[in-house]
Structure 1
């Protein structure tokens, strides 16, 4: 079974697997439209910096859509995972509060969505112990994200937390018994690892003959097909590169950053990602902010050159973010409300985690 699982993890982003993931996503979308109450979604972020427009287009809009469709939505602020590959937590409290403010400002409703930091939920993290007994060192080292994170650290010795990152993520997903997880294709191996944990727990400790059903659901990926927005320098958008537009930035800060964005010398603006990636990225950004097709935006700018392009991008992004920034300003003026949202989220997550842990201990015959 071990080698088969390793192969599954290694190949979970193959063309065939990606096609299967898209087919599953289509069924989930149809299921949500028919009866959203049959689903629970778990998603979240590491508080390593402030959220930016890449997060907005790539995941936040989809989370709000799912919530508004009526799906029970849980959002974890994965603060323990800040130290998977770092020597300290940095200004983590400020960043956790900032994430919570961004979540609320973009439209996640604390009355419908549970927002919580996983470090404050002990029973969730206690699930790591039995889960770790279900996976092998080789499986964890073969996980593509673990390998990528390890290489990004300059190949310094890997921390135990980095190595077990996929298992911690499995605990985040399974503690609340989420059955769907919004993912990009690069995150499919993590979800496969979570299903491995759920399956092996059931095989080793589950109810006899499955009489009462499995202890954990097998979570499926709701695959995001959002366009990838590059950073303003034409490279991958990254908090550490400083090439992002943060949701919390002012309109003037945004305009200043866009003025410095990389373009090219051709005055005619065209949407040609293969040959003109930097210009095309700015065209795409304006198009997504306006809800239009990139080719139409490029055609509208025509021979206006980089100046006209940057002007349009600035206006489009600032118009799109204006109501989000206004809501965020209200939240910044009322930090007690934001802390209250987190406290209520922690209370609800703790209640759910303790119930799940009790069920796990019962299945493992560890009730005394």
Structure 2
């Protein structure tokens, strides 16, 4: 398939995602935000439409598509203002599925990935702990080997998809005698409700992303078979570091979509809103603001396109992915704040989606590695 055909397919996919959203999401999204989670029925519809895990190999339920085709789902949903859903899907399709695809055994891949692609199973990853966020070496949860099993103890917090997940990747210390980066392993758990000692905490109440369920998870003497190990023992930290560029790029795609969606809303509003007997769009300040916002969006989009080409060539490094996350999420917050200002008092009203975009944006500079951590990574890489 040549570049022209790929572009045509890409545009058709974006249209199909918008049509799906118009029918299956828009009429219900406000209610999902109030309820605090996306219902399981939507996951099945997303799977049936081919919007989940589409870049996995066909033998595992995917469509074998390039990264740009799989990431366009969260891109478009972010443009449309469904940030909570975009985050759910990022964790499920771009993070959890790829850990299993890259490090899982053939049995794990054949068992779990088709169910994730169909929406039958929802994926989550449990890394963050009350005392370990961006610093993954601060993890305290343990998984100790005993008689052909591992016994997992500890707690996790801020776990996206935690209320609904059926497949859960857990990071835990397996060797206490070395530093965490040398003694951490990953485990992939299924049939969570049958695991004695596993419990889900409350659905955490956040200031934004209300429809994205976020939970505490508890592990008390959970015994799992050695077959639950994901990859090699004690190599979990290495796996986490390898996968972070994909995670951070996908969060950048979400940020990019969100700021472009905010710009779309604002352009429409300033053309319709009248101030001093003329459209708000005719005021010089409005034109200057829109010009700067649009320029920011365009520049960031070009950088994201470059990063997408890099990840598709398996060349996206940690520094560049960190630059993408830092620049897009910081820009997202600035852009949406300026857009909301152009709405005036109406921008502060919940009935206008720009207010939700403003609240949803704030966490982007925190999860997946804070902006401060991104700066540290970038600075060390440049100055080493």
Return the TM-score normalized by structure 2.
Answer: 0.26
Higher strand share: 2
Return the TM-score normalized by structure 1.
Answer: 0.27
